[in-house]
Chains A and B, each alone.
Chain A
Amino acid sequence: MKRGMDGLKSLLLVVGGTVALAFLLILMVGGDIPTALGSFLRGIFGSTYAMGEVLVRATPLLLASLGVGIGFKTGFTNLGAEGQLYMGSITITTVAMLFPSLPPLVMIPLVMVLGFFAGGLWALIPGFLKARFSISEIIMTIMLNYVAINLVGILVRTILRDPAYPYPMSPMLTESVHFSQMLLPTRIHGGLPVALVMVIAVYMLLFRSRLGYEMRAVGLNARACRCSGIKVDRAMVLSAMIGGGLAGLAGVGEIAGLHHRLIEGISPGYGYMAIIIALLGKNHPVGILIASLGIAALQVGSMAMQRSAGIPTSIASTIMGAMVLLLVVRDARSRITIVEEGV
Chain B
Amino acid sequence: MELLIVITTFGAAAIRMAIPLALAGLGESISEKSGLLNIGVEAIMLCGAFFSFITLFFTGSFFLGILAGILGGVSMSMIHALLSIRYKANQTIVGLALNFFALGLTSFLFLMGFGQTTTLPSTPVMSNLPIPLLSKLPLLGGILFSQNLFVYLLLIFMVLTHIWFYKTDFGISLHAVGEHPIAADTAGIRVHSVRYFAALCNGALGGLGGAYLTIVKLGFFQENLTEGKGYIALVTVILGKRRPFGVLGAALIIGGAEALQIRLQTMGTGIPSQLFSMFPYLMTIMALLLTIGSADAPSALGIPYDRDER
Residues of A in contact with B (beta carbons under 8 Å apart): 25, 28-30, 77, 79, 129, 133, 135-136, 138-140, 142-144, 146-147, 150-154, 157-158, 272, 275-276, 279, 312, 314-322, 324-325, 328-329, 331-333, 335-336
Contacts and interface: CB of A to CB of B under 8 A. Distances in A.
Given A139-B288, A321-B98, A332-B83, A28 B39 contact: no
Given A312-B111, A332-B83, A320 B100 contact: yes
Interface in B216-261: 223, 228, 231, 234-235, 238
A83 B42 CA distance: 18
A333 B100 contact: no
A335 B90 CA distance: 12
A124 B152 CA distance: 44
Nearest to A331: B89
Contacts of A272: 96, 99-100
Contacts of A79: 92, 96
A237 B102 CA distance: 33
Contacts of B293: 133
Contacts, number: 146
B110 to A, nearest CB: 8
Contacts of B97: 276, 320-322, 324-325, 328
B268 interface: no
Nearest to B37: A138
Nearest to B235: A143
B291 A135 contact: yes
A150 B234 CA distance: 18
Nearest to A273: B100
Interface residues of B, number: 48
A317 B112 CA distance: 15
A111 to B, nearest CB: 24
Given A143-B285, A272-B100, A318 B105 contact: yes
Nearest to A133: B292
A157 B274 CA distance: 10
A69 to B, nearest CB: 14
B100 A314 contact: no
B30 to A, nearest CB: 18
B83 A329 contact: yes
Nearest to A275: B96
Contacts of A315: 104, 108
A129 B272 CA distance: 30
A333 B88 CA distance: 9
Given A29-B112, A138-B39, A319-B104, A146 B272 contact: no
Nearest to B231: A142
Contact of B89 (A129, A142, A332): A332
Contacts of B101: 317-318, 320-322, 325
A30 B279 CA distance: 44
B94 interface: yes
B284 interface: yes
B55 interface: no
B79 A154 contact: no
Contacts of B281: 143-144, 146-147, 150
B275 A139 contact: no
Contacts of A136: 297
A75 to B, nearest CB: 12
Contact of A312 (B94, B107, B284): B107
A332 B88 contact: yes
Contacts of B289: 129, 135
B104 A314 contact: yes
Nearest to B108: A314
Contacts of A147: 278, 281-282, 285
A329 B84 CA distance: 10
A316 B104 CA distance: 7
Nearest to A328: B89
Most central of B88, B108, B235 by chain A CB within 10 Å:
B108
Contact of A332 (B87, B104, B235, B284): B87
Contacts of B292: 133, 135
